[in-house]
Amino acid sequence: MKALLTLIVLGLISAGVFALGSYRKKGEDKPLLHVAQEVPLTVSVAKPAKEEIIRIVQAPGDVEAELEVEIRSEIMAKIEEMPVEEGDFVKKGDLLCRLNDKDLLADIESGKARIAQLRAAIVLAQADMEKADRDLSRQVSLSESDATSDLELRDYQTTRDKARASCDMRQHELSQAEAMLKRTHEDLQKTIIRSPIDGVISKRQAKQGEVVVTGTMNNPGTVVMTISDMSRMQVRARIDEVDVPLVRADQKARVYLQADQDKPVPAKVVRVATKGTKAVGRDVVTFEALLEVLSKDQRVKPAMTANVEVEVAHREDAITVPIEAVVHRMRKDLPDSLVAEFDRKQAGLDLSDRARQAQYIKVVYVMDNDVAKVRIVEPGISDARRVELLDGVASDETVITGPYRSLDQLKEGRKVALSEKDKKPKPEGSEEKTAAKDEAKDEKKEEQKVDAKQDDEAVAQTKTP
């Protein structure tokens, strides 16, 4: 009974408050009792725009020559002459370095004398072998008439075999001496080091008067200089593991040099590594990508630091909104009808109930008669400013873009109000200015296309033999 009376009293109080709030004094349009109302959220808005959008992947990298040769000595000797300096351009076959050849010339003279000595020894050995053959033949004839013993005959046979072996040994020694002389002649030719390619001496490590040594298993040897073919340059970039699935061969790219970041250099992706690497002391995994520079820009030099931008996706007429307009909401914060629509789109995904309940859904809020309405969207590609919307928002709707505090508090049906900036009418001539800006933008795009075409023609000329 008491509970029933309590409910009746509460109902009467609520009805009285409503009546007082609705009652207005005669001649005044103000309620007798002021009841607190929901305060609209101040928001900024924007219209979806139809424009070109390009998704890029950025990565740091290092510039290097596609063909680079380290010049090393194949013999140990002192540098007698070095007529080139760092930065000089050399052609294939030009003299780079001359080493001391006195010891090798002496070895050649010694080798020639050794060969002459062995040839004389061979003549002597052949004479001994002929005499041993004659003696053995005479002993064989005597043995037929029993004029000699079997022991004496075998002694002559042994003498003949020793003479023949001595002759063969001298022949092998002669072959060995001739091979050593040939090798010495080859080493003598290696005292003159010539350029194997056309290029620029990018680095000179050795100096005239130094002794260069050959490389071994534990010692790489002396690097005399490095020659780089500056006509073909490339960039070795480090792509983050998050972006590497998007990067493929033959994609367009741009190289921004640290020395001049205002004018990029055209490039293209040649290949991407199949295995990632991890820097010492860091947990970030990167994949090495090789990019070919498509112009003979004199600014591009080996060992430069650069940033690359790879175009991984491109849309000509995409419906885009500011990237901050797309927000994430949990399933429990959205209307059941929208959640059911989202589940229908994900019918093909094998997700557990727990994973499905923990999902965040990408949505956009639109302004409809001072009320926020939520839309589930399907984003496409994006750049640093805008994101493509494949579905969910019409081109004539008004999208709420901020501020962040208002976006965080937005819900379905929440009252919103335009910010003072968005309330201000557009000044006269703004449409003409906007049209002029669009025209200038179109002209800039045309200039970029012309520049790209010129770059392609330049690349084609460089590749023409």
pLDDT score of 443 more than 70: no
DSSP state of 270: E
- CB atoms under 10 Å from CB of 132, counted, come to 20
85-128 confidence digits (pLDDT tens) = 998 999 999 999 999 999 999 999 999 999 999 999 999 999 98
Q: Could you give the CA distance from residue 271 to residue 36 in angstroms, rounded to a whole number?
A: 65
Q: Could you give the CA distance from residue 374 to residue 392 in angstroms, rounded to a whole number?
A: 10
Q: Could you give the CA distance from residue 393 to residue 365 in angstroms, rounded to a whole number?
A: 9
Residue with tokens 């298993």: 217
Q: Could you give the CA distance from residue 460 to residue 452 in angstroms, rounded to a whole number?
A: 12
Instruction: Tell me which of 95-99, 108-112, 151-155, 383-387 is least confident.
Output: 151-155
Q: Could you give the CA distance from residue 375 to residue 357 in angstroms, rounded to a whole number?
A: 19
Q: What is the mean pLDDT of residues 33-48?
A: 76
pLDDT score of 380 more than 70: yes
Q: Give residue 463's pLDDT.
A: 45
Mean pLDDT of the chain: 83
Measured CA distances, 322 to 124, 182, 319, 368 (Å):
101, 76, 11, 18
Under CATH, which architecture does the 56-64+229-316 domain have? Beta Barrel (2.40)
Residue with tokens 């505090």: 405
pLDDT score of 169 more than 60: yes
Q: Which of 430, 426, 425, 363 is nearest to 400 (CA)?
A: 363
Q: What is the mean pLDDT of residues 312-329?
A: 91
Please state the pTM of the whole predicted model.
0.65
Q: What is the mean pLDDT of residues 165-188?
A: 93
Q: Could you give the CA distance from residue 293 to residue 61 in angstroms, rounded to a whole number?
A: 13
Q: What is the mean pLDDT of residues 338-349?
A: 79
Q: What is the mean pLDDT of residues 57-70?
A: 92
Tokens of 428: 């006269």
Distance between start and end Cα atoms, the chain = 105
DSSP 3-state of 427: coil
Q: Give residue 15's pLDDT.
A: 60
**Is domain 69-95+194-225 annotated with CATH 2.40.50?**
yes
What are the domain boundaries of the chain?
Answer: 45-51+318-423, 56-64+229-316, 69-95+194-225, 102-189
Q: Give residue 37's pLDDT.
A: 62
pLDDT tier at 453 (50, 70, 90 boundaries)? Answer: low
Q: Could you give the CA distance from residue 262 to residue 256 in angstroms, rounded to a whole number?
A: 8
Measured CA distances, 151 to 139, 142, 144, 154 (Å):
11, 13, 14, 5
CATH of domain 45-51+318-423: 2.40.420.20
144 or 372, greater pLDDT: 372
Q: Write the DSSP assignment of 77-145 as a string of letters.
A: EEEEE----TT-EE-TT-EEEEE--HHHHHHHHHHHHHHHHHHHHHHHHHHHHHHHHHHHHHHHHHHHT
Share of the chain above pLDDT 70, in %: 80
Q: Find the Cα–Cα–Cα–Cα dihedral 443, 445, 449, 451, rounded to 10°.
A: 80
Measured CA distances, 87 to 224, 225, 229 (Å):
14, 11, 12
Q: Could you give the CA distance from residue 59 to residue 246 in angstroms, rounded to a whole number?
A: 13
Specify whether the CB–CB gap between 228 and 68 falls below 8 A. Answer: yes
* Beta pairing class for 360-368 and 68-72: unpaired
pLDDT score of 21 more than 60: no
> Omega before 403 cis (within 30°)?
yes
34 or 408, greater pLDDT: 408
pLDDT score of 177 more than 60: yes
